[in-house]
């Protein structure tokens, strides 16, 4: 049982602030438009880049890293919601992805 909120990709609002905790090469290959990328291993060093008054929807590839990031963020006073299934579920739901590589977006 989790102590943090988890939503499906279909429950994420269109205007949500997305925090993608995947590594940069994964993010560059395909990510949600407008998402912020702070890899999970950098989150402790970079958490102050985030606004504590903003609700963040935290996503990774399949949901494991975001499930670790979400309680960490909440422990430090940030509002965070885990996105179940990650970018894989986002892609399956036919939601938009963009790529920084010049190729069709993919989920890594």
The residues assigned a catalytic role are 60
- Which of helix, strand or coil describes residue 74? helix
Task: Using alpha carbons, select from 25, 17, 76 the residue that is nearest to residue 52.
Answer: 76
Query: Is there a contact between 62 and 43 (Cβ–Cβ < 8 Å)?
Result: no
Alpha carbon distance 82, 65 (integer Å):
9
């Amino acid at each position: 049982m989790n102590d943090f909120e988890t939503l499906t990709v279909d429950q994420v609002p269109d205007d949500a602030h997305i925090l993608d905790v995947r590594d940069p090469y994964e993010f560059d290959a395909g990510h949600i438009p407008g998402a912020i990328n702070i890899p999970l291993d950098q989150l402790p060093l970079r958490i102050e880049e985030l606004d504590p008054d903003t609700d963040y929807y935290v996503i990774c590839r399949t949901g494991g890293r975001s499930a670790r990031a979400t309680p960490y963020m909440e422990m430090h006073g940030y509002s965070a919601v885990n996105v179940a299934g990650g970018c894989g579920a986002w892609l399956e739901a036919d939601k938009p992805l963009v790529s920084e590589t010049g190729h069709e977006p993919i989920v890594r």
